[in-house]
Amino acid sequence: AIEREVKRMCRAFRGGDGSAAPKAWIANLGHGITPGVDPEDLKWFFECVHKYSAKGAVV
């Protein structure tokens, strides 16, 4: 589920959803994370962001 949502996010930020693509963007945690979040899930989120936000990445 994390990878799917990161791909969706990256696609939208690139303008793949029909919107105008920004030149740069920052993926963040919004209001933070709760104490119950699995650190491995957080690590996977950032790994996916790096993978799918890289120039030339296919999403």
Q: Please write the tens of the pLDDT for every residue from 1-32.
A: 999 999 998 888 877 665 666 677 888 888 88
First to last CA, the chain: 15
Give residue-wise pLDDT tens across range 42-56: 999 999 999 998 877
Alpha-carbon gap, residue 32 to 20, rounded angstroms: 27
Alpha-carbon gap, residue 6 to 51, rounded angstroms: 10
pLDDT at 36 over 70: yes
SS3 37: coil
pLDDT at 21: 66
Tell me which residue range forms the domain holding 55. Answer: 1-15+39-59
Domain-located, residue 32: no
pLDDT at 39 over 80: yes
Instruction: Transcribe 2-27 into DSSP letters.
Output: HHHHHHHHHHHHTTTTSSPPPS----
Count of domains observed in the chain: 1
pLDDT at 50: 92
Domain-located, residue 1: yes
